[in-house]
């Protein structure tokens, strides 16, 4: 009864006939190919170390420079929240491009995790008449306001429920993450997300090596391949080290606020307690951790 079963990896190794090869090359060489590795959240520490080493080696080959892949776990007593002041946002899109650079999004074909919607003041928040493709000499334009949309890090995330392989889940600190090595590219999560926050790599992502951000996290901005879904992670590689997300730091009008919802002295708590706060599509009961407020 107490006989231990071989792990999925050991079993696959044996079935695939790599047992013989394992005696010479070792099975660990194959782990980063993602065929034999477990889900990140099920990995032992040893396996994580193995996988990270494999990834760093692969990225060195792909980009010709050292890339670190962090595996920092959630901090105790921390649940992240985000607040965006729509009375301040001027629609300059600095956040969009700071995010692309920080999070190693594909430059060609273009992938952008933040989408800034231009809306008519007369119509209010109205997605049917919003325009993400506005171009202007100067913003803000008269009669318009701007609503940036990115992953809302829902407490009740429909994308997670829709994933048939468990490749995406919500971490203890509230960040919804994706294991790119488990994503099968079915895009169910994309159709489940009511905010259009998930993006698919239809082609091999192109990032010039000199523009690659080498400080990465396994569940965040490590370089992805073709055929996987990706999205905002609140800059998991930064926030789990105490830093602010890149979009918060770059915003020239200070419209973006970030912090720990469990800390009564945090900026987000001050917003939630003192401002008029709005969440997108509250009727869907997704319970976003991304709040919009009116700061004026």
Partner 1 sequence: MLLAFAACDLSTHEESFPGVPAPLGLEPGEKIEVPPPPFSEGQFPCTNCHDPEIPVNRTRRPMEVAHTEIVLHHDEEHRWCLDCHSAENRDKLHLAGGELIDFTESYRLCGQCHGDKYRDWRAGVHGRRSGEWNGHKTYLLCVNCHYSHAPKFQPLKPMPPPVRPSALAKGVLE
- The residues of the shown chain that bind partner 1, judged by CB under 8 A, are 75, 78, 85, 90-94, 96-97, 108-110, 112, 115, 132-140, 202-203, 239, 242-244, 249, 251-254, 257-260, 263, 266-267, 270-271, 274-275, 295
Question: Least distance from C-beta 82 to partner 1, angstroms?
Answer: 11
Residues in CB range of 2: below 8 A, 6 or more apart: none
Instruction: Provide, rounded to whole angstroms, the least separation between the CB of residue 197 and partner 1.
Output: 14
CA distance 166 to 272: 32
Cβ proximity to partner 1: between 121 and 133 the closer is 133
Specify the residue, 33 or 206, whose C-beta has the smaller distance to partner 1: 206
CB neighbour list of residue 87: distance below 8 Å, 6 or more residues apart: 145, 293, 294, 295, 296
Nearer Cβ to partner 1 (58/270): 270
CA distance 219 to 235: 10
Beta-sheet pairing, 229-230 with 199-200: antiparallel
Please tell me what DSSP assigns to residue 215: E
Tell me how long the chain is: 296
Min separation Cβ 31 and partner 1, Å = 30
Complete edge-to-edge strand list for the sheet that includes strand 256-260: 256-260, 80-85, 290-294, 276-278
Question: Which of residues 22 and 75 has its CB atom nearest to partner 1 in the complex?
Answer: 75
Nearer to partner 1, 59 or 153 (CB): 153
* Residue with Cβ nearer partner 1 (121 or 138): 138
CA–CA dist 176, 171 (Å, integer):
6
């Amino acid at each position: 009864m107490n006989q231990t079963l071989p792990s999925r990896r050991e079993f696959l190794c044996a079935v695939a006939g790599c047992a013989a090869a394992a005696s010479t090359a070792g099975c660990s060489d194959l782990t980063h190919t993602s065929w034999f590795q477990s889900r990140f959240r099920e990995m032992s520490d040893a396996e994580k170390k193995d996988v990270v080493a494999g990834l760093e080696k692969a990225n060195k080959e792909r980009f010709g420079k050292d890339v670190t892949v962090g595996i920092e776990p959630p901090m105790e007593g921390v649940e992240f929240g985000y607040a965006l002041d729509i009375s301040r946002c001027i629609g300059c899109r600095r956040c969009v491009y700071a995010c692309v650079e920080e999070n190693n999004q594909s430059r060609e074909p273009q992938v952008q995790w933040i989408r800034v919607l231009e809306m008519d003041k007369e119509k209010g928040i109205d997605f049917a008449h919003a325009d993400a493709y506005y171009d202007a000499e100067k913003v803000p334009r008269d009669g318009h306001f701007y609503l940036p949309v990115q992953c809302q890090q829902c407490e009740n995330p429909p994308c997670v429920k829709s994933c048939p392989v468990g490749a995406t889940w919500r971490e203890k600190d509230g960040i919804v993450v994706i294991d790119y090595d488990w994503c099968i590219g079915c895009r169910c999560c994309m159709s489940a997300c009511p905010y259009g926050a998930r993006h698919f790599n239809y082609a091999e992502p192109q990032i010039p090596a000199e523009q690659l951000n080498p400080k990465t996290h396994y569940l965040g901005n490590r370089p992805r391949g073709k055929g996987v879904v990706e999205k905002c992670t609140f800059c998991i590689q930064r926030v789990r080290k105490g830093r602010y997300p890149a979009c918060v730091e770059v915003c020239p009008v200070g419209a973006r606020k970030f912090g720990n919802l469990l800390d009564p002295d945090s900026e987000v708590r001050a917003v939630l307690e003192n401002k008029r706060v709005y969440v997108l599509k509250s009727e869907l009961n997704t319970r976003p951790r991304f709040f919009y407020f009116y700061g004026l």
